[in-house]
Homo-oligomer: A and B are copies of this chain.
Amino acid sequence: MKKYLLTPGPTELPPRVLLAMAHPIIHHRAPEFLPVLEQAREGLKWLFKTKNEVLILASSGTGAMEGAVTNFLSKGDKAIAVNSGKFGERWAQICKAYGVDADVINVEWGQAVEPGKIKDELKKQPDTKAVYLQATETSTGVVHPIKEIAKIVHDNSNALVVVDGITGVGVFELPMDEWGIDILLTGSQKALMLPPGLAFIGISDRAWKFAETSNLPKYYFNFSKELKNIVKNQTAYTPAISLITGLGESLKMMKEEGLENVYKRHAMLADATRNGVKAMGLKLYAPKSPSNSLTAVLSPEGIDSGKIISSLEKDFGIRVANGQDQAKGKIFRIAHMGYYDKSDILFALASLEIVLNKLGYRVEPGAGVGAAEKVLV
């Protein structure tokens, strides 16, 4: 059976990227690698919309998150961590591991954080050094109002705005410099259409100032050392060469499409997916603020979402994701970030209709697909 991956990471890889990575490896100090790295750096700046260097790390996104704490803060510093799901939790855990005193704003799963709550927290804790949050919380499919939050943080404090854009960068607008995002990070296996194994992190001039006085221990994720190297078109440690070669190709594809078109395509596919599932009578898990990265859908009353997921897999070769922790069995998550097009959504929705009917939840065949068609132009 043909296999389709509609999970929020890893995402499908374009054949062009697979072929680029299948070339014989080149040495990272060889003249042939220099333009590869240089183009990747230039492409990442273009993608992050920043004038500063975007560091390239051989790690998953979590490594970049750790570095986003350890390179800028000091022991005992106060921070705010927004926890609206599985990945929000991670900020608080990292702060705790390194002795940063993070005040956690707990947000109900499926909800976006209210910017006012961050403002209140900053007033209570005026010496906050950083506000940590996600652009999209992958576990719930919610998108947070980053532009508004960045403004509030800067208007009310000197804290850094640190955004985990792992499922955001390359999906929708997150212009670092314009919005005042001090630290923005992402991973390779999302909108960048690469295998997991690389993380990328953009750092503002303000944040680099914080780095000068940070006293938390770090070695592998030492960003000052990485910066010194990347401006010389090198990395501090052996880079993940084949993945960076793939990155060159995926950035090229994004440039060919145009970044605004990439965003529009994601918005359209997300819109179609939401229209489709709603026309089937299903409810979104994050209805007020759904992300264009993935759509989290509540399973119909009485049906474990695991059953929908395994039927989609068994009958149609489609892999979507279950909920995590408290949402496990209650939701399924259809991702549409990266190498996806209209065909994927139409096929996934049609398959979902068949599966739901099979599991005893009645859907008029074609109802969801029909609703999606209206926005797929």
Q: Is the CB of A28 within 8 A of B10?
A: yes
Taking a contact as CB atoms under 8 Å apart, the answer to whether B219 and A98 are in contact is yes
Binary B-proximity of A233-259 (CB < 8 A = 1, otherwise 0):
000011111110000000000000000
Q: Cβ of A219 and Cβ of B97 under 8 Å apart? A: yes
Query: Which residue of the partner chain, among B9, B187, B220, contacts A59 with CB atoms under 8 Å?
Result: B220
Whether A243 contacts B58 in the complex (CB less than 8 A), given A5-B27, A25-B12, A319-B27, comes out as no
Give the distance in Å from the alpha carbon of A198 to the alpha carbon of B3 in the complex: 26
Chain A: interface secondary structure? Answer: loop
Q: Does A94 contact B (CB under 8 A)?
A: yes
Tell me whether A329 is interfacial, beta carbon within 8 Å.
no
Candidates B13, B26, B197; contact of A240 at CB < 8 Å: B197
Query: Is residue A24 within 8 Å, beta carbon to beta carbon, of the partner chain?
Result: yes
Query: How many copies of this chain are found per oligomer?
Result: 2
Question: Is A189 an interface residue when CB atoms closer than 8 A count as contact?
Answer: yes
- Which of these, B13, B93, B187, B241, contacts A238 with CB under 8 Å? B187
Decide if A238 touches B196 in the complex (CB within 8 Å): yes
CA of A59 to CA of B198 in the docked complex: distance in angstroms? 9
Cβ of A23: which chain B residues have Cβ within 8 Å of it? Answer: 18
In the complex the two chains form, is B97's CB within 8 Å of A218's CB? yes
A12-B27 in contact given A189-B238, A217-B99 (Cβ < 8 Å):
no
Q: A43 at interface (Cβ–Cβ under 8 A)?
A: no
A377 cross-chain contacts in B, Cβ below 8 A: none
CB distance from A83 to the nearest CB of B (A): 16
The verdict on A62 contacting B237 (CB below 8 Å), with A10-B25, A24-B3, A319-B27 known, is yes
Q: Find chain B residues with CB under 8 A from A319 CB.
A: 27, 30
Q: Across the interface, do A59 and B62 meet the contact criterion of CB distance under 8 Å?
A: no
- Bound Cα distance A5, B240 (Å): 16
Q: Among the interface residues A30, A59, A66, which one has the most CB atoms of the partner chain B within 10 A?
A: A59
A194 to chain B, nearest CB (A): 9
- Residues of B near A187 (CB, < 8 A) are 238
A195 at interface by CB-CB < 8 Å = yes
- Kindly report which residue of chain B lies nearest to residue A63, judged by CB atoms: B220
Q: Once the chains are docked, how many angstroms separate the CA of A237 from the CA of B60? A: 7
Is A21 part of the binding interface, using a Cβ–Cβ cutoff of 8 Å? yes
Point out the residue from B3, B25, B189, B219 that lies within 8 Å of A195, measured CB to CB: B25
Q: Which interface residue of A25, A99, A218 has the most chain B CB atoms within 10 A?
A: A25
- Give the contacts of A202-234 with B (CB-CB under 8 A): 216-222
Q: CA separation between A99 and B30, bound complex, in Å?
A: 36
In residues 26-73 of chain A, which contact B (Cβ within 8 Å)?
Answer: 26-28, 30, 58-63, 66
Contacts of A59 in B (CB 8 A): 58-59, 63, 220
- In the complex, the answer to whether A18 meets B12 with C-beta atoms within 8 Å is no
Could you give 21 example pairs across A and B, Cβ below 8 Å? A3-B24, A3-B26, A5-B24, A21-B21, A30-B319, A58-B60, A60-B220, A60-B240, A61-B237, A61-B238, A97-B218, A97-B219, A98-B219, A187-B238, A189-B241, A195-B240, A196-B238, A196-B240, A197-B198, A197-B240, A197-B242
6 additional A-B pairs beyond A3-B26, A98-B217, beta carbons within 8 Å, are A3-B24, A9-B238, A10-B25, A21-B21, A60-B238, A61-B237
Q: Give me the 10 closest cross-chain CB pairs, A-B, nearest first.
A: A197-B240, A195-B242, A22-B22, A60-B237, A196-B238, A97-B219, A63-B220, A62-B237, A60-B238, A66-B220
